[in-house]
Amino acid sequence: MIKPHGSEVLTPLIVADSVRRENLLEEAKTLPQLVVNSAAAANAVMLGAGYFTPLKGFMNKADVMSVSAEMRMSDGLFWPVPVANITTSDHSVNVGDRIALRDPNVAGEPVMAIQEVESVETLSPDEIAQIALHVYGTTDSEHPGVATFKALGDQLIAGPIEVLNLSYFETDFPETFRTAVQIREEISERGWETVVAFQTRNPMHRAHEELCKMARDAVSADGVLIHMLLGKLKPGDIPADIRDAAIRKMVELYFPPNSVMITGYGFDMLYAGPREAVLHAVFRQNAGCTHLIVGRDHAGVGDYYGAFDAQTIFDNSVPDDALEIEIFCADHTAYSKKLNRVVMMRDAPDHQKEDFVLLSGTRVREMLAAGEDLPPEFARPEVARILMAHYAAEGA
> Is 201 assigned a catalytic role?
yes
Whole-number pLDDT of residue 384: 92
What is the average pLDDT across 328-352? 90
Confidence of residue 106 (pLDDT cuts 50, 70, 90): very high
What proportion of the chain, given as a percentage, has pLDDT over 70?
99
Whole-number pLDDT of residue 235: 76
- Choose the catalytic residue: 72, 98, 190, 202: 202
- What is the DSSP pairing of strand 223-229 with strand 260-265? parallel
Whole-number pLDDT of residue 128: 98
What count of Cα atoms within 13 Å lies in the side-chain half-sphere of residue 79?
Answer: 24
Q: Which residue(s) pair with 115 in the sheet?
A: 99, 161
Whole-number pLDDT of residue 111: 98
- Least confident window among 121-130, 288-297, 326-335, 356-365: 356-365
Are the C-beta atoms of 10 and 182 separated by less than 8 Å?
no
Q: How would DSSP label each residue in 128-182?
A: HHHHHHHHHS---TTSHHHHHHHTS-SEEEEEEEEE---TTHHHH-TTTB--HHH
> Cβ atoms within 10 A of the Cβ of 171, count?
11
Residue type present at position 308:
F
- Choose the catalytic residue: 21, 72, 190, 201: 201
Confidence of residue 15 (pLDDT cuts 50, 70, 90): very high
- What is the DSSP pairing of strand 98-102 with strand 119-122? unpaired
Whole-number pLDDT of residue 368: 84
Whole-number pLDDT of residue 175: 94
Q: Which residue(s) pair with 182 in the sheet?
A: none
What is the average pLDDT across 96-105? 98
Average pLDDT, the chain: 94
What is the average pLDDT across 318-335? 94
Whole-number pLDDT of residue 373: 87
Topology (CATH) of 18-167? Sulfate adenylyltransferase (3.10.400)
Does residue 233 surpass a pLDDT of 80?
no
Say whether 175-265+273-395 and 18-167 share the same fold: no
Phi, psi (rounded to 5 degrees) for 219: -105, 10
- Least confident window among 28-42, 160-174, 234-248, 277-291: 234-248
Q: How would DSSP label each residue in 200-250?
A: ESS---HHHHHHHHHHHHHTT-SEEEEEEE-S---TTSPPHHHHHHHHHHH
Helix (H, G, I), strand (E, B) or coil at 171: helix
Residue type present at position 18:
S
- Letter string b/e over residues 258-268, b meaning 16 or more CB atoms within 10 A of that residue's CB: ebbbbbbbbbb
Confidence of residue 361 (pLDDT cuts 50, 70, 90): low
What count of Cα atoms within 13 Å lies in the side-chain half-sphere of residue 14?
Answer: 19
Whole-number pLDDT of residue 13: 98
pLDDT higher for 334 or 139? 139
What count of Cα atoms within 13 Å lies in the side-chain half-sphere of residue 74?
Answer: 7
- What is the DSSP pairing of strand 195-200 with strand 291-294? parallel
Q: Determine the Cα–Cα distance for residues 358 and 335; give it in Å rounded to an integer.
A: 8
What is the average pLDDT across 45-52? 98
Sequence-separated (6 or more) residues with CB below 8 Å from residue 372? none
Whole-number pLDDT of residue 130: 98
Q: Which residue(s) pair with 344 in the sheet?
A: 333
Are the C-beta atoms of 33 and 100 separated by less than 8 Å?
yes
Q: Determine the Cα–Cα distance for residues 181 and 287; give it in Å rounded to an integer.
A: 7
> Is 202 assigned a catalytic role?
yes
Whole-number pLDDT of residue 366: 82
Does residue 348 surpass a pLDDT of 60?
yes
Does residue 360 surpass a pLDDT of 80?
no
Topology (CATH) of 175-265+273-395? Rossmann fold (3.40.50)
pLDDT higher for 5 or 363? 5
The structural domains of the chain, with segments of one domain joined by +, span: 18-167, 175-265+273-395
Confidence of residue 199 (pLDDT cuts 50, 70, 90): very high
Q: What angle, 0 to 180 degrees and rounded to 10, lies between the N-to-C axes of helices 309-316 and 274-286? A: 70
Sequence-separated (6 or more) residues with CB below 8 Å from residue 67? 59, 73, 79, 80, 81, 82
Q: Which of 394, 99, 137 shows the shortest CA–CA distance to 271?
A: 137
What proportion of the chain, given as a percentage, has pLDDT over 90?
83
Whole-number pLDDT of residue 393: 84
Q: Which of 278, 290, 284, 312 shows the shortest CA–CA distance to 218?
A: 290
Q: Determine the Cα–Cα distance for residues 166 and 382; give it in Å rounded to an integer.
A: 32
